[in-house]
Amino acid sequence: MPEVLLNGVQVRFPFEPYGVQTTYMTKVIECLQNGTNGILESPTGTGKTLCLLCSSLAWLETTKAKFSAMRQESSSAPASLSMQLAGAVGQSWQDVRMVPPKIIYSSRTHSQLSQAISELKRTTYKYMKVSVVGSRDQMCVHPEVSKETNNNSKVYMCQMRVKAKTCHYYNQVDNKKDDAELRKDILDIEDLVKMGKKRAFCPYYMSRELKRDSDIIFMPYNYLLDPKTRKAHGVELEGNIVIFDEAHNVEKMCEEAASHQFTSTDLALCIDEVTQVMKKIQENHDASDAAAAVADSSQDLPDFLANDLYTLKALFLELEKAIDSIPLPADGSGASHSGDYMFEILEKADITPNKKTVIVELLEKLIQYLTVNSSSPFQRKGAGLQKFLDLIYIVYSKDCFSLEQMQSVKRSYKVHVSVEEPKKKGGQQDVWHVPKPVSSKSGRVISYWCFHPGFGMQSLVEQGAKCVILTSGTLSPLDSFASELQVPFPVQLENPHIIKRHQVWAGVVCHGPDGMNLNSSFKNRSDPRYKRSLGQTIVNLARVIPDGLLIVRKIGRPQVYGADCLKSSQSSWSQRRKMSSRQRCKNIMRKSKIQPLWGACFMAVCRGKVSEGLDFADCNGRAVIITGLPYPPFKDPRVVLKQKYLEEARTRRKHGLTGQAWYNLEASRAVNQAVGRVIRHKDDFGAIVLCDSRFASTHFKGQLSSWIRPHITNYNKFGPVIREITQFFKQAQILLPCSKGEKKCAPARTIKHEESNPSGSYPVTAHGLESISSRSVNSQNTSKHSMEHQNTVDSPLETISDLNYPPSKENKKDVRNANESIFTLLEQEVKVKPQEITFSAPPPPLPDYLSIKMNSKRRKIKLVPRMGIPDEGSEGVSEHVLRPPNPETSVSSGSDKVDKHSKLCQPTELEGNKMKKASEKEEEKKRKLKATGAYIMEVKAAVSKEKYAVFSSAIKEYKNRSDFKKLLNVMPTIFSNDPAQQALMKKFQHFLKPEDREKFEAFVADTSQT
């Protein structure tokens, strides 16, 4: 296994690391050695997770060796080795406790953690002690507790059985925690649960035991950012390393962990639950007969008094009055206040920081009592009390509140009071809805929102975390990201992508096929013309993009964004809310592979699980279409208050983000994350299509990830988009064939055309269809023979050898002659004798080279021994030729060859036919070459020497850079308005690429008229 020395640390990597990987690992080690925080961005597909694990564990391995040497009073190690270890560990770790730190590796979801664990298993560091922290909901194997659907109820049911020692699985943890099988291999959550069922121990508590002496601990990062969850799982941060992978959501998670929402319905539920407990206790107290006494003895006696319940109920009633008395505007827009307004509301009910401990203990006892004594799984089990308990935990998160902390809460929090809307059945609430007028009986929603993500990050620093590393593929711009977290990050990195330029196509489509401006602003969103144009844009793009296609929309129903157009052209599968998004994605991918010519179109929304978490590698995702800028709802109260908070903070600190800058960043970060779904590794390729003219602004481009900026091109017309995407995938499928284990890249989607277009829909443009060479078309009136000739391939301006396997040495000369084109003739200065060309009569019509269809399945040419004749099963360069060669010439040449060989090898009749076919192909090649040379000489004779030099240069430029516009600009300067020269210029269209012929013909016609 290759080893690389980075900052004095020897890192073992599964393969020779690339430059971007070496740079990334160097920055990780720099953070660890200096004990400083870092923000590291490296695009998806650069091996970020593998680099993160190898570099951090290599440093930890060195650190453990250094601490082991320090424990020995008289070290037998040489002084030079001790100095080398000390230098590799870093100066910030010289005077710390004599215990190596732990690495706490966190990611957003458990599925992402499973992927990281899989990467760890590939390395030589898999010998280290590893543990995974999960929830009871994932890891409980108790037959009764695991059936509980409510997570809070499951927690209390588990705690009761653990406390009473009645859980058999928990009781086996101490006996089996030293089992060698637990450390034999790296176990993720699924593996630990399987082993727990097999060996009858609790996986949840076993993972907590394994965590004690682990070198690296995996957990979701909400376990770190939520103080309550962090305490419940016993996560120790002091002196340890904290790594946030996929950290683009850390800012939002920090705010969410410190925010809470409480409604009048929740408060009414609290009152009802307390009342139910009071009635239950009163019934038990009044029971006098023996049967009742025996029945009651089977239930756990409460460890709280009736007076406590009376006091708590009175407290809730006072709080209800205080909330109902909050004045609200008549228009229903809600009222906003500073963060300390929440303290005022609670104080009206005599809920103060001094009484936090008493109230919390009583609430926990009540919730536990309701959970244990519930006789039905459908009965309420303290859900309202649990929400109120969470509110107390968040509002009074500090054990003691100083004046400075109160001021910080006042600035960083906002309280929004609004009308409680009744829950809609069978659907989600619309964030763009118009508020309803306030009535006297309307409930209230108290939103306690944190707008300072630094609250969560600062708590990690306060808990003693030695080093915090944030990394993701989409953190740009780094300065604004760091400023929002309010924690210093001295080490920053913005890595380029590992892929090359020919592996990605990125463009901004400003107009649809009908010329309609694509702008998904609120004003245009409901315009039927915009929706129709966007739908036709997606349909046209879907026809030329092979394999999987991801369509990411802003918000709203798919029908708004052209799904109806797609459904009329392709099969569609709709599976909503019946299974996880990951499972739905797998099902669609599996169905798309049943018909190999098809590729699935997967529609998703920005900031969703699909657009931010799923992997569309290789043929599963060849392109992503972003249908608009995903700005947050402008009138949403939380968005408005966030912008207000940022403006206030900027005024106070004299620097930082403005509200509008944050609003723009929200859109760009969502786009960056969706874009990262396509290019997943160094050999992957794909297209990124941004269907909104606002993407073309320089300001927005500057907010995109650095690796994509150089590739973006603005397109004001739709035709060039189709042409360039088609060319891109042709080239990419040749240079980057599908990796082993993947299905062969499908040519394109099979699209069925109806006899007539749906009313109100625009037809597909001609240039959008004729430029497609990789898809098959099903039509009821299309014969099989016509379908074979319908699709076109690369023009003779490009060398045909690029489309086939490398020729053998024996046939290299023949292949070279077959590939002679107008470019190679110009480059080699091939001269045709004047007597071979008769200018008095018009030259023979040039063959339509573009009608030659390349065989989609590339095969090697097999040679017959001693003859060099292609095998019967082999196919040459072309499959169909529109102009067959002269029969007499072909037979004659074929017969001559047979006569030459008959005396030596006596060929069979079959071999003679093969030689005849080979001779016919050779004559056809010569005829094409002669016609091409004739055209070159005709141009050379018709124009001046200077114009011919310009002509030659323009053609070479067109070949190398596909600069069709430049070619059109120079043509009028070469050919005059003389009819003969105009006819000569028109003949040049036979040498152009298919997508440029129609435009060139129109250009010549316009030139002739003027």
Detail the residues annotated as belonging to a binding site.
Answer: 140, 158, 167, 202
**Residue 246, by phi and psi: left (phi above 0), alpha (psi -120 to 50) or beta?**
left
Separation CA 62–CA 757 (nearest Å)? 69
Provide Rg for the chain, Cα atoms: 36
DSSP 988: G
Vertex 605: Cα angle to 602 and 611 (nearest 5): 70
What is the distance between the alpha carbons of residues 204 and 192, in angstroms, rounded to a whole number? 9
DSSP per residue over 380-392, as a string?
A: --SHHHHHHHHHH
Q: Rounded to whole angstroms, how far apart are CA atoms 98 and 116?
A: 29
Helices 264-286, 356-372: inter-axial angle, 10-degree rounding: 70
Residue pointed to by tokens 């460890």:
303
Asked whether the beta carbons of 562 and 762 are under 8 A apart, the reply is no
Question: Which residues make Cβ contacts (< 8 Å) with residue 489, sequence separation at least 6?
Answer: 36, 37, 38, 39, 470, 482
Close Cβ partners of 1006 (under 8 Å, ≥ 6 residues apart): none
CA 604 to chain centre: 11
Extract the tokens encoding 168.
């058999």
> Omega into 43 within 30° of 0, i.e. cis?
no
Question: With b meaning 16 or more CB within 10 Å and e meaning fewer, what string describes 532-548?
Answer: bbbbbbbbbbbbbbbbb
Pairing of strands 413-419, 444-450: antiparallel
β-pair type (38-41, 444-450): unpaired
Distance (Å, whole) CA 267 – CA 318: 11
Residue 772 in contact with residue 726, Cβ under 8 Å? yes
**Exposure string over 204-214, b if 16+ CB within 10 A, otherwise e:** bbbbbbbbeeb
Bridge partners, residue 158, by sequence: none
Asked whether 679 and 721 are in contact (CB, 8 A), the reply is no
Task: Find where tokens 């593998």 sit.
Answer: 50
Buried b (16+ CB within 10 A) or exposed e, 936-974: bbbbbebbeeebbeebbebbeebbeebebeebbebbeeb
CA dihedral 264, 230, 133, 246 (to 10 degrees): 80
Q: Is the distance from CB of 474 to CB of 251 less than 8 angstroms?
A: no
Query: Which two structure tokens, joined as six digits, stand for 894?
Result: 């074929």
Q: How is the chain split among helix, strand and coil, in percent rounded to 5?
A: 50, 10, 40
Q: Which residues are annotated as a binding site for [4Fe-4S] cluster?
A: 140, 158, 167, 202
Q: Which amino acid is at 810?
A: E
Surface-to-core class of residue 181, CB atoms within 10 Å of its CB (0-12 exposed, 13-18 middle, 19+ buried): exposed
Specify which residues 505 forms β-bridges with.
687
Cα angle 972-974-979, degrees, rounded to a multiple of 5:
70
Question: Rounded distance, CA 138 to CA 254, Å?
Answer: 23
The whole-angstrom separation of Cα 1007 and Cα 97 is 84
Cα–Cα distance list, 874 to 780, 820, 1006 (Å): 32, 22, 45
**342: three-class secondary structure by DSSP:** helix
295: DSSP letter: H
